[in-house]
Structure 1
C-alpha cells in the first residue's frame, strides 16, 4: 500500500484496519456484483464462494483473520520496522504471516521480494508533463519492477518445467497464469495511466508488440465423431538422464581447438602521410602455429580457469556428464580436457615461453568453446517410448494466446 506522505500512510493504515474489522458478507456480495467486469476478481469470487461453497459471512471472517492488524506492517513506523525486521526480510517463508505493507519510499531501493502480487497506489497525483515521465512516476515504475520479481513454483500441469522460469506467458486463459502476474492498482486517471505506461516502456517492462490471439476450433469439427470419440496418443516428457554421455565427443566436441593469434605486445610505427605508399617494417620472425596439449599447462592453471566459470564447477558438470567421478578426472582424462589439443599462433619466441597469464587465457578460451558446444548440443528432456491415449476433445480446445508480432514496434 503506497502513500504519498508518512501521515497519509498512517491514515490509510487506520482506514484499512477499520474497513477489515467492519467487513460483512453483504459488503462482499456488493463487491462481487460490482466486479463482474473484472475477470480476476470474478474468478476469485467464483472459486471461493461457489466452488468452495463459502458463505459471504464466512468469507468475511476469513479475510478478517488473514488481514488482522498483527499481519499488517507500516514500514514508515520506526517501531514496526525495528520490531519486525526479521519478518520483513523473510516474507517468502511459509510461516511468515505478514500480508500487507504500508510504505512511502522505504521499499523503493534495496528491497527484493518474490511473493509480491499487488501494489496499491493510494494517491491520485501525477508529475508527468508534455508526455515526459516525471521522477515520481519513474520511481513507481521501478517499484513495479522490483515487485515483478518472479516467484518460482512447480506447475501441476508442467511438472518438468523449471521452477524459476515463466510458464504461461502465451496462455492467456490458464488460471495459474495469475501466479506470474503483478497487479498494480490505482484510481482511473487516464493521464497518469499513460504516464506509467510510458515509464514502464522506457524501463523495458512493457512490450507493446504483443497481441492477444484467439484460436477457435470450427464448430463443424467439434460435431464430428472423431472429435467426440477419437483419441490422440501422447508420450511423456522426462528429464534426459544422459546415460550415454561419457566424454566431450557425446556433445560433438572435437578434441582440437584453434586459439586466435597470440598477442605479441610489440608495436609497429609507420607514417600514413609521407606522400608515398604506406610500408610497414616486416618482423625478422614470422608468426607460426604450434600445438599444445591443454593438460600440459598444469593442474593449477586449468583449476583456476575452471573455478572462474560456474559452468565447470563439479556439481554442474555432473548434470551434463553423469559418469564423471571427479573434477580431477575432467582435467586429466583423454575423453575430457586431457585429450584436448589447442593450436596457438604467435611468434616462435613467445610460443617457447608462454606466460602463466597467456596459458590461462588460452585455457579459458578452450573452456568457453566447450561450454558453448555442450549447451548447444545438450537436450534437457526426451520423450518416453510409452504412449497413452487421450481424448481429442480434451487435448484440442479453444485457446487465447499472447504472441509477439514480428516487425512491429512499440506503440506510443
Structure 2
C-alpha cells in the first residue's frame, strides 16, 4: 500500500474489503497507466496485465478498461467509491469523474453522500485536501450552470441517473446531456468525452449490461471504468451470466462471517403443511407469524439498548405482495380489529407504482424516515418497489407472500434488511439477525442458498411454536430486592393517615437516597465489607450530600434528619453487603493469533526544544532579482485542533490504526503541545512550532510508541483493574407478553417450551425480584439455589454485567448465574449435555475460567473469596440435587 492509499485507509477508516479493493486499484492503475489516445498499452495489453494478476477478469466487457469490485450489500460500496476518487486525485491528479446511478433513489443518495459534508455518510470526511476545496458535484439538473473555466479549478464529480438517460434515448432521440450547452459552446456530453482524465464509476453495475444508455456511456470514451455491485451477474429468463471483469469479490457469506451485515435466517412453523390452508388463510398465518417475530425483536432491541446504554432501534417488518390489489387486501387485513387487537391499524402502509399525488408523496416521506423514533410505521407492504438504494438499518423481518421471480431479485430483497444499526455485529443474535418468514415456495430459496456457489448463505432455520399467541410484548426492569421493599412500603404508606403517613413518606425518600449512594460507594471501596463502606469519611460525605438535598427542599430540621439518616445509612449498608455479590471489574478479551497493541505511557519531551520560525514570506522577482519580505498573520492550519497536525502524520505509519489507537495518539499529542506551551510564551508561537516541525515531532512520538508496543498471541490479554474494584450490579430489562401475570418460580409450566416466555418471581436469595429463564434446566437450578443452604445469595447477570469475551471475532459471554457460597463465588453455566464439549461452549468456558483466575488473584489482596467456574450438563440438574455435589462434580479446571 503506497502512502496515499494508506492515508485514505486511515482517514476514511476503511473496512478490510474496502482496503483490499483500494489496494487492487492502486496496483492495477500503476501497471496499466491508462492515458487517453496516447496510451503505450493497447486495450488487450491492459487486459492481459489485469488477467495475469486477477484471473477472474477475462474481459473488460467495454470499449475501455473497466474493472468490477463485487462487494456484498452493507459492506460500503459508496465509501469505496469515495476512496477511489480521493486516491486517483491525490496520486495521479485526476479531476474528472462520471458517476452513474441506476435509479432516482440511488441518484439522490449519491448526490447527498458526495456533497453534504454534514451528512453522517459523507464519503470524503477526513480528506484534508477536500476540506477547503470540496469537489464540485454536477448532476443531471444543474450541469448547464457551470462554465468550462470554472470546471478546471475543481475536482468534478458528475452524478447522472442511467434510467433517465435511457428514457431520453427512446425512439432514437439523443439524451438531453448530448444537446447543446449555451455555456460550453458545445454539448456537455462532448465536453466530457473530450476530457483527457475522465473516469467512470458505475454503482450497481449489473444494470448497465444491456441498457440503451450503455451505448452513450461507451461514447464517453473514459480512460477507466470502475464498477461496483453486490450481484455480479445478469439474468435472461432462467439463465444467469456472471461478470467477466471482476477483480475482487467479497460475498455475502464473508460479510456475515466478518460481522458487517445481519445474519439472514428463515422462519417457518413447526410441522407446517401449507396444503391444508387456503391462500387467504396462508397469508394471514404468515403475517401473524411475522408480527410475532417482529414484536419479539422489538422487545429484544429495547432491552439491548437499555442494557448497553445505546440508542434504541425501532424495527419494522417488510411484506412483499403479489400485486397492487393483493397489497390493498393485506393492508385491510392488518387493519382489522381481530389482527393483534387492532394495534397496527395506523402502523401499516403500502407502497406501489399505482399510487400518485399526495398519497405517494406522504408514503415516500414515511419511507425515508423509517429509522426515526417518531415514525409510526411498523409494517411496510410493497410490490417490487424497494430495490437498491433504499438503505435502512432497522428492517428485521421480511414476509414474502409471492414466489421470488429471480435469484437477483431475491438477493436484492434480502439486501434491504442486511445493514446493521450499530455498524457491526453486537454478539446478540436478536440484534444481528434478519428473519425471513417462509412462504410455500421459499424452500426453493433455502435450497439455492445452500449451494456451494450461492451468494446467499442462510445460517440456520428458526422453528416457531404457538406458545406466544398473537400478543404484543412489554418491557419491564427487574428491580433489586431493596427497591422492591421500598415499593411495597410505598403501597403500605398510602393506607396510612396524618402524621404517620407523612413520617413514613419522609423515611422512604431518605432510604431511596441512601441506596444509590451505596451503589456508588461500594464498588470503589477497598474491600466489600460493611466496615469499608461505613468509614467516617464515607459517612461524612453522605451527611454533607444529604444535608444539601434537605436544605434545597427547605427542611426546617435538616441537621436532625441528617443524623438520623446517618444511623439508617449504617444499618442499610450492613443489609446491602449481606445481599450483594461483589463482582471484580475485569475485562477478559481474547488476544487472537497476534495483535499489535501500544501500552499507555507518558511522552518524554526532553529532546523537543524547537523554536518558532519566522512568519514572514520572502519573495524574489525572477527577472530583476528584487527581494521582498511579506509579513503575514498567524500560521495557517486547516485542522480543527492543533493536536490533529501531529495525529495526521502518525496515522500514516503502517503500524498505527486510528480507530484502535486514537486515545493514546491524542494523549501523546496533547502532552507535546503542553510541553511547548511550557516554554513558549505565546500561543501563536506554539502553533508555529507544531506547523513547522510536525514531522520530526511526530517521528519522536512514533519511536517512543514503538518502544511501548507488544505483540499479543493466542490466549487472553492480561486484564487491568478498572477505576472501580467492583462493578455495580446491573438491573436486567426483560420482556413479557402484555397482560400475562408474574409466575412463582416453584410453579410447573406446561408445555416446558413456554418457560422462556414467562417472567418468574418469589425469590428470597436472589438480588433481583424478577427473572426469565431460557429453559426448564435453568428454572430448576434456580429452585436448587433457593432451597440449598450452601447458597447464600445468587443472581442472573444482566447483559454487560461482565466484560468477558471469547472467540475471533470476539463475542460477549454472559454466564447463566452468579452464586455465592460461604467459601467461594461461582460463575455457573448450564448446558445441554451434547453441547458441553463443543468448541463454542469450551471457548466460553476458557474465557470464564480466565476471569475467575484473575478475580481470585485480585480478591487475595482484599481478603475476598476465590472464584470458580462451574459447567453443568442439563441432565445433572434435578431439584433433589445438592449444590455442593453439583459444584464439586462439575467444577471446570480447563
Q: TM-score, normalised by structure 1?
A: 0.43
Greater gyration radius: 2
Q: TM-score, normalised by structure 2?
A: 0.22
If asked which structure has higher relative contact order (CA below 8 Å, sep 6+), I would say: 1
